[in-house]
């Protein structure tokens, strides 16, 4: 799960079976690791300078996808990496793989991540023609100085042009990423960035606090961020600015115009099932989680031998699953219903944790209306602390 405050082997079946209960409308995530350059803050599974292996990688995705033939999808999310780093022919190959192996609901939400520097009008039109109906554009900022600081390969002009290309191609559901809390960033700079980004008129906005991840170049440089109090103030500033717009917050780091919430992310947050294809991708099916190998060469080697690229799997107990969904539910503006969660998993919040929740209600960190529990505005600023106290 990205954004907001940092809360963190056999062979392919020759005759692959349809997933049990495939009509339950699983979600699909497809990881495309290719990038032109790795941004300084990035810790995702990406690969640079491997463009000659894109087709081999797509063959690996096809092999994985065959295990789930005829599964009905309610949402698809193609992320990375930079999916739009691929050429038109490679994108067509990817889309053909998905359409040959899965069934799409008529109302399927199909999101693809894009970076401004790789999104010309021809590519935008191709996405639309093949059925992609939602694009998440990695703008991050419209301040050229901060884009350079982050190691991005686009500037503000390219970002605006890419957005215009998407509109011209017919996209009516676009998410823009906004990152903030760069060292030394002023309130005025944040206000200006928010104003310009909102002015583009997208349907969705995802908010990211700059964090230092272990595998990033910023981590190697020992970059120091603003302290937690400053980050909390900046987060509150952005939220207050967005409240004055047509956007409505529905999760701690996600804002949408009415009717444009990300259904793919909602499925994650509500404990739904999903298939993950590609290097480093995760799946959650029938109560079991599994994750693929995270090394690109190993993924290619395994899939070339028709072996599953699974690195590990686990099955959480009901109590652990309850607490996980409980904490994720607190990220949502609407919170969660304890009875519904208990009914779903056949367990309840233990008494000692219930007493901690009661204390946090008295402290104004949580609020409860009948059986509906949610974090207050103050509680949203200390969700890490809330989670630590409960687990």
**What pLDDT tens digit does each residue of the chain (391 aa) get?**
333 333 222 323 333 333 443 345 589 999 999 988 776 666 778 888 899 999 999 999 999 999 999 999 999 999 999 999 999 999 999 999 999 999 999 999 999 999 999 899 999 999 999 999 999 999 999 999 999 888 888 899 999 999 999 999 999 999 999 999 888 889 999 999 999 999 999 999 999 988 776 776 666 667 777 778 888 999 999 999 999 999 999 999 999 999 999 999 999 998 899 999 999 999 999 889 999 999 999 999 999 999 999 999 999 888 888 888 999 999 999 999 888 888 888 888 888 888 999 999 999 999 998 778 999 999 999 998 999 998 8
- Which residues have a Cβ under 8 Å from the Cβ of 10 and sit 6 or more positions away? 307, 308
H or E segment and range at residue 327: helix 318-329
Which residue, chain included where needed, has tokens 């797509």?
A: 58
Q: Helix or strand or coil: residue 365?
A: coil
* Per-residue confidence (pLDDT) for residue 37, from 0 to 100: 77
Q: Which domains does the chain have, with CATH numbers?
A: 22-269 (3.20.20.70), 318-390 (1.10.10.920)
The whole-angstrom separation of Cα 198 and Cα 236 is 17
Nearest residue to 115 via CA among 93, 69, 147, 143: 147
**Tokens of residue 368, six digits:** 């409860």
Query: Are the C-beta atoms of residues 157 and 135 closer than 8 Å to each other?
Result: no
What is the β-pairing status of strands 372-375 and 366-369?
Answer: antiparallel
Q: Give every CB contact of residue 158 below 8 A, 6+ residues apart in sequence.
A: 116, 117
CA distance 274 to 296: 22
pLDDT score of 142:
94
Is the C-alpha dihedral spanning 350, 356, 359, 363 positive or negative?
A: negative
Q: Give the CA diameter of the chain.
A: 60
State the pairing for strand pair 102-114/134-140: parallel
The two tokens of residue 158 are 């390219």
Distance CA 90, CA 299 (A): 19
Distance CA(17)–CA(177), nearest Å, equals: 38
Backbone dihedral angles phi then psi of residue 279, each to the nearest 5 degrees: -65, 130
C-alpha–C-alpha distance, residues 391 and 386, integer Å = 9
Using DSSP bridges, classify how beta strands 248-251 and 254-256 pair: parallel, antiparallel or unpaired. antiparallel
Please tell me the distance from the alpha carbon of residue 222 to that of residue 202, in angstroms, as a whole number.
35
Per-residue pLDDT at 62? 98
Provide φ and ψ at 252, rounded to 5°.
Answer: -55, -30
């Amino acid at each position: 799960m990205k954004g907001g405050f940092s809360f963190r082997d056999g062979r392919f079946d020759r005759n692959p079976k349809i997933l049990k209960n495939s009509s339950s409308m699983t979600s699909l995530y497809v990881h495309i690791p290719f990038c032109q350059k790795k941004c300084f803050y990035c810790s995702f599974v990406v690969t640079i300078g491997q463009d000659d292996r894109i087709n081999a990688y797509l063959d690996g995705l096809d092999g994985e996808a065959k295990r789930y033939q005829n599964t009905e999808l309610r949402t698809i999310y193609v992320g990375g990496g930079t999916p739009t780093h691929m050429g038109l022919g490679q994108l067509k190959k990817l889309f053909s793989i998905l359409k040959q192996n899965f069934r799409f609901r008529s109302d399927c939400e199909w999101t693809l991540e894009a970076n401004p520097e790789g999104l010309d009008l021809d590519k935008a039109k191709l996405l639309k023609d093949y059925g992609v109906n939602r694009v998440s554009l990695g703008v991050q900022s419209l301040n050229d100085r901060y884009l350079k600081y982050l190691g991005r390969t686009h500037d503000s002009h390219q970002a605006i042009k890419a957005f215009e290309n998407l509109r011209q191609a017919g996209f009516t559901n676009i998410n823009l990423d906004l990152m903030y809390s760069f060292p030394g960033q002023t309130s005025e700079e944040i206000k200006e960035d928010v104003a310009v980004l909102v002015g583009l008129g997208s349907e969705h906005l995802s908010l990211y606090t700059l964090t230092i991840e272990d595998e990033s170049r910023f981590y190697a440089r020992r970059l120091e961020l603003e302290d937690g109090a400053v980050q909390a103030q900046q987060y509150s500033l952005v939220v207050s600015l967005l409240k004055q717009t047509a956007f409505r917050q529905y999760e701690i780091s996600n804002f949408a115009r009415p009717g444009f919430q990300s259904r793919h992310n909602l499925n994650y947050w509500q404990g739904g099932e999903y298939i993950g294809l590609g290097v480093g991708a995760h799946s959650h099916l029938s109560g079991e989680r599994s994750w693929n190998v995270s090394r690109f060469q190993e993924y290619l080697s395994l899939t070339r031998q028709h072996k599953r690229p699974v690195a590990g799997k686990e099955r959480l107990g009901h109590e652990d699953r309850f607490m996980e969904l409980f904490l994720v539910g607190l990220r949502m503006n609407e919170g969660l219903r304890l009875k519904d969660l208990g009914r779903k998993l056949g367990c309840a919040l233990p008494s000692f944790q219930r007493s901690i929740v009661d204390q946090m209600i008295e402290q104004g960190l949580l609020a409860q209306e009948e059986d509906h529990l949610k974090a207050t505005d103050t509680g949203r600023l200390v969700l890490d602390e809330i989670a630590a106290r409960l687990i």
